[in-house]
């Protein structure tokens, strides 16, 4: 550093210290956000090392999503009180960001676990399993509604999941009551649902029955799902099992991992009891 200019840094030196390019400093000077301490008679710009902390604050606020205009507003009205207020405000923003990141991390972990489990399944196999009680967040009732009403219900349901942070990473499934199944109305679903491993307070939940479920898998779209139900009912008859209160359906493979409906896989969980 040239001793003639004392403890000051050129634009290039200060830019290197801040790990940015010189054009950024020129722009900050142009908009009055961060200007050199002085310019000499040749127009060279010089910065003080004390301005490094100011740059760090500007950079921090930018990283937190604060616009340059809002940062300018603060710079024009600087005070210890306004700085403290700003830092409290940004701390609150960081807490919310961290919570959102943690929520998304849990969603991703759930999707990883489900997909790894799916890779180990035999989709031709039918099993009887003891399933635990599970909390489900339900949509409005969708029995016997029109296509237009169904679109409205599912849109509202997804909006609720988004606004209330109820998306857990589990697939959106459907419940079909016993009476619809007995009529052969396998796609006349009663409710949509999403599993809630850690239910939030203040929301209504449906608790599934802890008990025996006959579990099978349908490959293809819903147009041929009756064939899979027939196969499952034949297995129930052979095992002396009766249809219980409801059936749960969830996609194992859908448009996220498969391009054609013929490759979709639906998990069918029929609540059963011994005859």
Q: pLDDT (tens digit, 9 = 90+) per residue, 141-188?
A: 999 999 899 999 999 999 999 999 999 999 999 999 999 999 999 999
Which residues, 6+ apart, have CB-to-CB distance to 76 below 8 Å?
A: none
Q: pLDDT (tens digit, 9 = 90+) per residue, 57-83?
A: 999 999 988 999 999 988 888 899 999
The DSSP symbol for 154 reads H
Contact 252, 172 (CB under 8 A): no
Per-residue pLDDT, 174: 97
Q: How far apart are the first and last CA of the chain?
A: 92
What's CA 2's distance to the chain center, in Å? 54
- Domain architecture of the chain: domains with CATH: 8-78 (1.10.1660.10), 121-274 (3.20.80.10)
Q: Which residues of 44-53 are buried (b: 16+ CB within 10 A; e: fewer)?
A: ebbbeeebee
Contact 39, 45 (CB under 8 A): yes
Q: CA 116, 222, 124, 191 torsion: positive or negative?
A: positive
Residue 109 φ then ψ, to 5°: -60, -40
Residues in the chain predicted with pLDDT less than 70, given as ranges, are 1-6
Name the average pLDDT for the chain: 93
Per-residue pLDDT, 1: 43
3-class secondary-structure state, position 37: coil
pTM, 2 dp:
0.78
Closest among 149, 202, 139, 145 to 174, alpha carbons compared: 139
């Amino acid at each position: 550093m040239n001793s003639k200019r004392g403890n000051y840094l050129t634009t290039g030196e200060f830019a290197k210290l801040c790990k940015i390019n010189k054009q950024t400093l020129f722009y900050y000077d142009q908009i009055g956000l961060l200007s050199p301490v002085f310019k000499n008679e040749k127009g060279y710009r010089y910065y003080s090392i004390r301005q490094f902390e100011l740059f760090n604050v500007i950079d921090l606020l930018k990283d937190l999503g604060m616009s340059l205009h809002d940062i300018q507003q603060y710079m024009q009205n600087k005070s210890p009180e306004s700085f403290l207020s700003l830092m409290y405000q940004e701390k609150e923003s960081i807490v919310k960001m961290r919570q959102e990141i943690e929520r998304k991390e849990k969603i991703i972990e759930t999707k990883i676990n489900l997909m790894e489990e799916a890779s180990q399944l035999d989709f031709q196999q039918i099993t009887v399993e003891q399933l635990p009680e599970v909390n489900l967040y339900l949509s409005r009732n969708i029995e016997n509604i029109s296509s237009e009403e169904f679109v409205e219900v599912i849109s509202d349901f997804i909006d609720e999941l988004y606004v209330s942070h109820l998306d857990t990473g589990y697939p959106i499934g459907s419940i079909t009551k016993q009476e619809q199944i007995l009529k052969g109305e396998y796609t006349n679903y009663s409710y949509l649902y999403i599993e809630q491993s850690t239910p939030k307070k203040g929301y209504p939940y449906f608790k599934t029955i802890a008990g025996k479920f006959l579990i099978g898998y349908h490959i293809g779209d819903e147009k041929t799902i009756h064939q899979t139900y027939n196969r499952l009912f034949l297995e129930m008859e052979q095992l002396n099992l009766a249809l219980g209160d409801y059936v749960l359906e969830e996609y194992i493979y859908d448009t996220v991992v498969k391009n054609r409906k013929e490759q979709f896989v639906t998990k069918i969980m029929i609540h059963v009891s011994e005859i």
